Amino acid sequence: MASSTTLLSRRQLLKIGVLGNGLSLSNYLRLNAAAAKQDTGRSAILVFLGGGPSHQDTFDLKPNAPSEYRGQFAPIATSAAGVEICEHMPRLARRAGKYAVLRGITHNLAAHGLGTRYLMTGNRPTPVVNYPMYGSVVSREFPAPEDLPSFVSIDRPVEGPGYLGPEYGPLSTGEKPRYGQPFRVRGITLGDGLTVDKYQSRRELLTDIDTAFDGFRQLDDSVRGLDRFSEQAYRIISSPRARDAFELSRESEREVARFGRHDFGQSMLLTTRLVEAGVRFVTVLLEGWDTHADNFNTLGRELLPRFDQSMSALLDRLDEQGRLDSTSILVTGEFGRTPKVNNKSGRDHWARAMCALMAGGDVVGGRVTGATDQKAEGPVSDGYTPDDLAATFFQNIGIDPKTEYEANVGRPITLVRDGETIPEVLS
Amino acid sequence: MQTDISTSAVCLFVGMLSTATFAAAEVTAPPASERFARADTEEVPGFQQHVVPLLGRLGCNGRACHGSFQGRGGFRLSLFGYDFKMDHAALTGRATSKDGLRVNQESPGESLIVRKPSMDVDHEGGQRFVAGSWEHHLLMRWVASGNLGVERPRELKTLKIEPSEIVFGDKAVSVQLRVVAVWQDGTREDVTGLCRFRTNDDAIVTVDREGRLHSTGHGDTHVIAFYDNGVKAVPVMRGMSGQAETKSAPLSATTEVDGFISAKLRKLGIAPSAICSDAEFLRRASIDLTGTLPTPDEVEQFLADPSSDKRHQKIDALLGRPAYAAWWANKLCDFTGCNPNRQAELGQETSLQWYTWIYDRLGRNVPYDELIEGIVLAKGRHEGQSYDDYAAERSAYFRDESPIDFTRRETMPHYWSRQTQQKPEEKALAFAHSFLGIRLQCAQCHKHPFAPWTQEDFKQFAAFFNNIQYGVAPGAKERYRELANQVGLSIRGKNGSPVRRDVLKHARAGRTVPWRELYVSERSGPASLDLLRTGIVELGPKSDSRIAIMGWMNEADNPWFARAFVNRVWASYFHIGIVDPPDDLNPANPPSNPELLDWLAASFVDRNYDMKWLHRQIVASQAYQRSWKPNDTNREDRRNFSRAIPRRIPAEVVYDGLKQAVAGSDQLDEVRNDLTRRAIGHLSMRLAGTYSMQVFGKPDRAVNCDCERVNQPTLLQSVFLQNDPLVEQRINESGWIQEIADSERAGNKVDRSKLIRAAWLRTVNRPPSAEETEKAEKHLAGVDSLSEGMRDLVWALINTKEFILNQ
């Protein structure tokens, strides 16, 4: 483990108040300090395609399958030799060198809640341990600068910090940025009529009257923690950098249009700005993939064009800024969809096969890893598990997937117990 | 080894008396270190008694080494031992390396289990012993003497440790432990050298491999010895002031609870903090008993009340309020896992029924065992009820017109029908957590490291729940299908389907809809199961195994049932349980004050599980009513209740408290008393998983762990309180501040100091000091309008540590 953990003796830790089996505040402070040393400087983005995107209509097409399986979309060639994706993503086809396609990911939790938990934690859900979401692990290992939140969820959070504790939960913006409308970030944007000056004057009043524990502030964890976090919250709320990062109006109209004049485009633009500012983990949602009916219109007319545009813009912008190498990106849903098209032109839940994209960091672009069988029913050979996907994602962020945490359940828990990094994906 | 125990002048051995009892009567075999000191010994070591414990002590079967589920270097042992068959097979099987056999009886010295740990050949795990040591001889002898395994494991009766308690004096000294294993057959052996030892706090005492303790600091903790499946804790103390026991002044003890606590504090030379102020007491007790902040009027009246027993009166008054039943129903929902997202169907409705069923019983102060029995023995149908009547009754709970009251049901079946409780193993884990406060999950995969539980124990316990089913009972299938057809419910599989919202509308209209039911199915045959090592239970094919468990829990000397609950309740009033974590009762996690826990549990049972009695004992104690301000002796004490440790108020209390703090004068009572709109009450289910609840650590009730509720401060909480739209809305739309604005606009003369006083009373529930009033006045003078200034003041007050902490 990190050497700085040994610099503090247990005696000292006791003095600053370590107790119990859970992760105490002082443990947190200490680990924060320890983590900073091995920080890879990488940020990460999770694009969650909620609802379960149809793998065979996106990145794993089966043009030779019978028509009731292959559906309505045709594959197109991409800039990478031998890699084909759906015809409704021409922009991403031209950028195939910037991402890796993972096919043949497989599990058996075909319910939204459980599937999402599995994919967002890399551990099969159990009533015994509440596993942390990726972003919580990253914000624990690689905290952002003090005046920025480490982990932001645009709109609502996708799964929580689990055993790491609420300290590592996301700052959730509470809504999506909408094109052409002012955007309020929960907790960051000051409310109507509240200026920074006003906020600061309130803050002065607070400092003036918050004296009950004076003289004993170092005594107990809870008191120390409140002082520290209150100060950091103030720094974030009043920080020009944080406010600026969330301010989409600073983008040119051209840039706004490049990402797309829709919620998802603006969310992806915001994601980029947050990563550029120094936020370490961002989740962004594109929902609506639960296409039990009308799959092809929904995907072909709405979801795929949006995804194609905004994802391409995000990859381009990060690349232009030289940040793609230091940003690890994962695009996934919670499962795939039934191989056979149903009588409502839809596809139902199917966890035996799904696909994902990875980009940035050490990802080798322009390559497909894994495969499904002829009807996209299941992986060829064993396939990959969500655990493997998680291990690879963590590896690409610079976090050892076999890291152990002294979880609040009283025994050490391995971050991704059953998964192994998929070697072909990373250089 | 005996000589090591000789008493040093500064060291007291409270436990020496016990030595006599086991030294004299029986013969105790000398330690392995003596018996295997010579290479040419004729002794034959036992696999269970010597070889496996030695491998444990050497660390071989730890999780980082060969105990790992993947093994190490192709060699895997059972984690923490106790799977003798597997371990024996692993040792005597063929090694994968070219280095040879692990066990080589022809030339024992060539055995890898000797060569590897002595580093005769390369060993990734490093050197575990040196050639020629007794450990070396022991393993050699086992190999040479035929390397036998275990036919039937011997039963360990108990471990005896001397000294049984250690109180260090001020000068650091060391003490040697001596551990004797007593087997069921009466044989005894000194196993000190074969134990694993662990200290629970190495800032107080360290322990080495040989069982020698070194005092490292003040305070109290335990050293734990592990051997075979025995676990034994030895309390270790060192007085804070260095004048332990004799010199510290006797403390006045007013309640029985305080008697036990004072006794412990005296041993440690700790003087407790003074008693807290009336205002602190009122706020503290209101939050802990009812999840509610006191109102300004209540504070003023309480402070003005001259009667000497006003605190007792207040405790009784608080226990009589519906908010007590609501808040503690919410807590019991935590312990029993009432999660709206994990119900069999209709998550909101089902979890609300669950909550109100408990709420009703807490209000009537139904004994705890009776309440729990209604959950444990729950079935869908009442005695003798037909399926039709059952379905009609359950539908009638939802009837728009004169619905049947769910709380009048004798039993509450939803505990068993959760989506997460389908397998017997899941039921066993949840049951052990909810009602026994023990964690069995380790034993699902390997010998429990801190408790005697083996995988076999877990398997047997889980088998009790084999025939508890939620579905369509045999005999009801036809009627179920008919009802389903009538309301258009499509059924998947033979176990029926959840009632969906579109089906529920039929129930609303008064029709009967098809419900699955909780029932006890027939076992394939009689079963004979060990109930967590307390005795064998014989079960007939049709018997409800839960009756046996409930009967066992109801026995006065049940080790967990009452203890788990009193400890959890205690932990809710302090920052820590008497056992902590409170849901982890195991021999390696002993209580900080065993006498107190024993007394509370036994008296609780004697008082017929009277929950209000229990609350009263705790809240009326001096221990509960102490100030958070430390003195020189108790500054570092966090285990013995010598002062109050500030706790962050729970998520639900934050939510309700914010609402109450800004409510209009005519709304103050309603926001408190309408429990259907309170986060501590009925609203708890609706709020589950919402942002504010997540930020403040309200438990999801998704895993079997009390640790799900987190009351520790975080950055996002500060961001929330300073700038969340919800907080802003509360302040901007405050009925109270609106009144001030209206009055200001009407040109009425306002008494500023009165408003300032009200602001303090509403938030931190005490009057402001003169200095604080002055600071507030100064701020109000510098803003454009009084209402604006009051908004600032309320904002500032809810952001003080005093607001968010229960101190």
- Picking from A10, A14, A220, the nearest residue to B645 by CB comes out as A220
Contact with chain A for residue B708, Cβ under 8 A: yes
Q: Residue B324 above 90 pLDDT?
A: yes
Q: Report pLDDT for B245.
A: 44
For strand B536-539 and strand B174-176, is the pairing parallel, antiparallel, or unpaired? unpaired
Contact with chain A for residue B571, Cβ under 8 A: no
Q: Are B455 and B443 in contact (CB under 8 A)?
A: yes
Helix (H/G/I), strand (E/B), else coil: A205: helix
Instruction: State the Cα–Cα distance between residues A289 and B771, nearest whole angstrom.
Output: 60
Helix (H/G/I), strand (E/B), else coil: B189: strand
Distances (CA, A) of B600 to A269, B500, B527, B562: 60, 45, 36, 9
Q: What is the CATH number of domain B2-26+154-238?
A: 2.60.40
- CB contacts, 8 Å: B426 with chain A: 127
Q: CB neighbours of B710 closer than 8 A, spacing ≥ 6?
A: A165, A166, B697, B699
Instruction: Tell me the one-letter amino acid at B731.
Output: I
- B607/chain A closest Cα distance in angstroms: 31
Cβ pair B718:A226 closer than 8 A: yes
Cβ pair B217:A11 closer than 8 A: yes
Residue pairs between chains A and B whose CB atoms are closer than 8 Å: 204
- CB contacts, 8 Å: B439 with chain A: 409-410
Q: Report pLDDT for B181.
A: 97
Cβ pair B715:A229 closer than 8 A: yes
- With the CA atoms of A311, A316, A319 and A325 taken in that order, what torsion angle do they form, in degrees rounded to the nearest 10? 20
What ipTM does this complex have?
A: 0.87
Structure tokens at B270: 């700790």
Q: Are B577 and B404 in contact (CB under 8 A)?
A: no
- CB contacts, 8 Å: B704 with chain A: 127-128
Beta strands in A238-340 (DSSP E): 281-285, 327-332, 336-337
The residue ranking higher by pLDDT, B98 or B445, is B445
Structure tokens at A136: 């919580």
The rounded mean pLDDT for chain B is 91
Q: Report pLDDT for A57.
A: 98
User: Which class is A43-179+250-425 in CATH?
Assistant: alpha beta
How sure is the predictor about B252, in pLDDT bands with cuts at 50, 70 and 90?
Answer: low
Instruction: State the Cα–Cα distance between residues A77 and A91, nearest whole angstrom.
Output: 11
Which DSSP string corresponds to B732-788? HT-HHHHHHHHHHHTT----HHHHHHHHHHHHTSSPPPHHHHHHHHHHHHTSS-HHH
Q: Residue B6 above 80 pLDDT?
A: no
- CB contacts, 8 Å: B776 with chain A: 205, 209
Q: Report pLDDT for B96.
A: 62
Cβ pair A187:B732 closer than 8 A: no
Contact with chain B for residue A130, Cβ under 8 A: yes
Structure tokens at B608: 């017929």
Question: What are the structural domain ranges in chain B?
Answer: 2-26+154-238, 47-144, 352-422+429-553, 648-806
Q: Supply the DSSP symbol for B15.
A: G
Q: Residue B10 above 50 pLDDT?
A: no
Q: CB neighbours of B745 closer than 8 A, spacing ≥ 6?
A: none
Cβ pair B420:A206 closer than 8 A: no
HEC secondary structure over B503-561: HHHHHHCCCCCCCCEEEECCCCCCEEEECCCCCEEEECCCCCHHHHHHHHHCCCCCCCH
Instruction: State the Cα–Cα distance between residues A47 and B679, nearest whole angstrom.
Output: 33
**Is the omega angle on the peptide bond into residue B163 within 30 degrees of 0, that is, cis?**
yes
For residue B779, the chain A residue with the least C-alpha distance is A205
Contact with chain B for residue A8, Cβ under 8 A: no
Nearest to B176 by CA among B158, B155, B197: B197
Residue whose entry in the numeric block shows the structure tokens 């009326």: B620
HEC secondary structure over B595-627: HHHHHHHHHHHHCCCCHHHHHHHHHCCCCCCEC
- CB contacts, 8 Å: A113 with chain B: 341
- Picking from B217, B441, B694, the nearest residue to A169 by CB comes out as B694
- Picking from A11, A14, A166, the nearest residue to B714 by CB comes out as A166
Instruction: State the Cα–Cα distance between residues A293 and B464, nearest whole angstrom.
Output: 44
Q: Report pLDDT for B427.
A: 96
Q: Report pLDDT for B223.
A: 96
Q: What's the length of chain B?
A: 807
Q: Residue B372 above 80 pLDDT?
A: yes
Contact with chain A for residue B757, Cβ under 8 A: no
What mean pLDDT do residues B413-423 have? 94
What mean pLDDT do residues B585-607 have? 96
Q: Report pLDDT for A4.
A: 34
Beta strands in B208-272 (DSSP E): 212-215, 219-227, 230-238
Cβ pair B725:A191 closer than 8 A: yes
Show which of residues 141-170 on chain A sit within 8 Å of chain B, judged by CB atoms: 149, 156-157, 160, 163, 165-167, 169
How sure is the predictor about B172, in pLDDT bands with cuts at 50, 70 and 90?
Answer: low
Q: Report pLDDT for B241.
A: 62
Residue whose entry in the numeric block shows the structure tokens 């708890």: B684
What mean pLDDT do residues B251-278 have? 89
- CB contacts, 8 Å: A110 with chain B: none
Residue whose entry in the numeric block shows the structure tokens 């069999």: B344
B155-179 residues labelled b (16+ CB within 10 A) or e (exposed): ebeebbbbbbbbbbbeeebbbbbbb
Nearest to B688 by CA among B677, B701, B669, B674: B701
- A223/chain B closest Cα distance in angstroms: 7
Q: Report pLDDT for B571.
A: 98
Distances (CA, A) of B438 to B82, B315, B453: 20, 31, 11
B16-50 residues labelled b (16+ CB within 10 A) or e (exposed): eebbeeeeeeeebbebbbebbeeeebebebebbbb
- Picking from B426, B576, B722, the nearest residue to A233 by CB comes out as B722
Instruction: State the Cα–Cα distance between residues A353 and A385, nearest whole angstrom.
Output: 10
Q: What's the length of chain A?
A: 427
Contact with chain B for residue A175, Cβ under 8 A: no
Identify from A32, A131, A230 which residue to disrupt to test chain B contact, counting B C-beta atoms within 10 A and taking the largest count.
A230
What pTM, to 2 d.p., does this model score? 0.85
Cβ pair A202:B804 closer than 8 A: no
- A364/chain B closest Cα distance in angstroms: 30
CA B765 to chain centre: 31
- CB contacts, 8 Å: B707 with chain A: 21-22, 163, 408-409
Contact with chain A for residue B172, Cβ under 8 A: no
Cβ pair B797:A209 closer than 8 A: yes
Cα separation of the two ends of chain B = 49
- CB contacts, 8 Å: A233 with chain B: 715, 718-719, 721-723
Helix (H/G/I), strand (E/B), else coil: B29: strand
- CB contacts, 8 Å: B694 with chain A: 157, 160, 166, 169
pLDDT tens, B341-361?
Answer: 889 999 999 999 999 999 999
Name residues of chain A where pLDDT drops below 70: 1-37, 408-410
Instruction: State the Cα–Cα distance between residues B580 and B667, nearest whole angstrom.
Output: 40
The dihedrals phi and psi of B189, each to the nearest 5 degrees, come to -150, 140
pLDDT tens, B476-520?
Answer: 999 999 999 999 888 877 889 999 889 999 999 999 999 999 999
For chain B, give the percent of residues with pLDDT over 90: 79
pLDDT tens, B635-664?
Answer: 889 899 999 999 999 999 999 999 999 999
What mean pLDDT do residues B148-163 have? 94
Give me the helices (H) in B50-193, please: 52-57, 84-92, 112-115, 134-144
The dihedrals phi and psi of B335, each to the nearest 5 degrees, come to -65, -35
Listed range (A162-171, B90-99, B273-282, B797-806) with the worst mean pLDDT: B90-99
